[in-house]
Amino acid sequence: MAQLYDAISHNKKNSVFLIIAFVIIVGLLSYFLGILFANAYIGLVFGFLFVIIMVLIGYYSGDSLILSMHKAQEVKKADDPYLVNTIEGLAMAAGIPTPRMYMIQEESPNAFATGRDPKHASITVTSGLRKSLNRQELEGVIAHEMSHIKNFDIRYMMLVTVLAGVVVLLSDFILRSFLWGGARSGDRKNGGGVFLVLILLGVALAILSPIIAQIIKFAASRQREYLADADGALLTRNPQGLANALKKIRDAKDKVVDDANKATSHLFIENPLRGLGGMNKLFSTHPDINVRIQKLESM
């Protein structure tokens, strides 16, 4: 058990470093954007104002957009008493307000949590998951998602998603501006080979930053899945329940959640696009499901 809490502490520290890495990348891109059009300081101000605006939009509206995107419908106690009772009981055990319950009409078994904090959170399951899991397995999945809420992973992953999007947008803007000749006026103003070197560095950073941002996003999501597995097992005191649920999700014939996309795939308990193969499998936002099962069964 001590090793488990050491791993949780280690993952939380790594998460802080990942956010810092995102901020550094955004700062560098904003700096080079400022060099292109005015000066570095104006670029930094513009970049971080843009980040703040995007974060506020994601913070207050991100969960509603995600639920709407996946056509999720709220589940009331009259619709599915057992499912709602399960989430109420686990919320009480976790010491957090009861999240709202949603369901997607989708045969592929999967689930995710979203929201900005435990008071404004929801858990969504697919109809395929609801039909295929027994009581202990369903509790394991709900406890996993409850842990994402309790640990504020939902807010963290929303922030990572927004920052990754900002990095891609700034990178694309820098490259397009350079191609359109945006650097010429700055070149006349600053002159010299040093400016040219800075521009070349900025272009290189703009090309590499989206790749680096995605790698950071993948690493953040994988760490959070391991942590939620461990916390969910602690909540139910039954790691085998979640392990068995993951086995059913792994072995399901339908492995693709139709309305999922790359922007939201990291939210799900398992990669909802893995059935598409190719790059979706190679650059999965989730750790290997077999490793997760092994870790749970060894607890």
Q: Which of 35-44, 51-60, 169-178, 219-228 has the highest mean pLDDT?
A: 51-60
Share of the chain above pLDDT 70, in %: 77
**Which residue reads 């104006």 in tokens?**
42
pLDDT at 182 (0 to 100): 52
CA distance 28 to 68: 34
Distance CA 286, CA 229 (A): 12
Q: What is the SS3 assignment for 178?
A: helix
DSSP string, 62-100: HHHHHHHHTT-EE--TTT-HHHHHHHHHHHHHHTSPPPE
> What are the backbone dihedrals phi and psi of residue 277, each rounded to the nearest 5 degrees, phi first?
70, -160
> Which residue's entry shows tokens 């941002």?
213
Interatomic CA distance for residues 258 and 114, integer angstroms:
18
Confidence of residue 198 (pLDDT cuts 50, 70, 90): low
The 10s digit of each residue's pLDDT in 274-297 is 766 555 454 566 788 999 999 999
Sequence-distant (6+) residues with CB within 8 A of 249 are 109, 110, 129, 269, 270, 289
Residue 126 has what pLDDT?
Answer: 96
Which positions are annotated as active-site residues? 145
Task: Please report which confidence band the pLDDT of residue 225 belongs to, taking 50, 70 and 90 as the band edges.
Answer: confident
Per-residue model confidence (pLDDT) at position 99: 96
Q: Give residue 207's identity as a one-letter amino acid code.
A: I
Q: Residue 124 pLDDT > 50, yes or no?
A: yes
pLDDT band per the 50, 70, 90 thresholds, residue 193: low
Please list, in sequence order, all residues whose beta carbon lies within 8 angstroms of the beta carbon of residue 212, skipping any fewer than 6 positions away.
25, 167
Beta bridge partners of 123: 101, 113
> Which segment, 82-96, 143-157, 196-210, 215-229, is predicted with the most confidence on average?
82-96
CA distances from 185 to 16, 172, 180, 288 (A): 39, 20, 12, 50
Task: Measure the CA angle with vertex 32, ends 29 and 36; round to 5°.
Answer: 135
Residue written as tokens 């521009």? 199
pLDDT range class, residue 84, cuts 50, 70, 90? very high
pTM for the full model?
Answer: 0.78
Torsion angle of C-alpha atoms 164, 168, 173, 174, degrees rounded to 10:
90
In this predicted structure, what is the pLDDT of residue 245?
Answer: 96
If you average pLDDT over residues 111-123, what whole number do you get?
Answer: 92
Strand order from edge to edge, sheet including 100-104: 73-74, 100-104, 120-126, 111-117
pLDDT at 194 over 60: no
Rounded (10°) CA dihedral 128, 129, 135, 137: 140
Pairing of strands 100-104, 120-126: parallel
Given a contact cutoff of 8 angstroms between Cβ atoms, the answer to whether 221 and 161 are in contact is no
Q: What is the mean pLDDT of residues 256-280?
A: 77
For residue 184, pLDDT over 50 is answered with no
- Distance, in Å, from the CA atom of 169 to the CA atom of 250, rounded to the nearest integer, reads 34
* Cα dist from 144 to 59, 206, 237, 243, 257, whole Å: 22, 37, 12, 11, 19
What is the chain's mean pLDDT, rounded? 81
Cα–Cα separations (whole angstroms), residue 100 to 68, 75, 119, 182: 14, 8, 10, 49
The pLDDT of 99-106, averaged and rounded, is 95
pLDDT of residue 242: 96
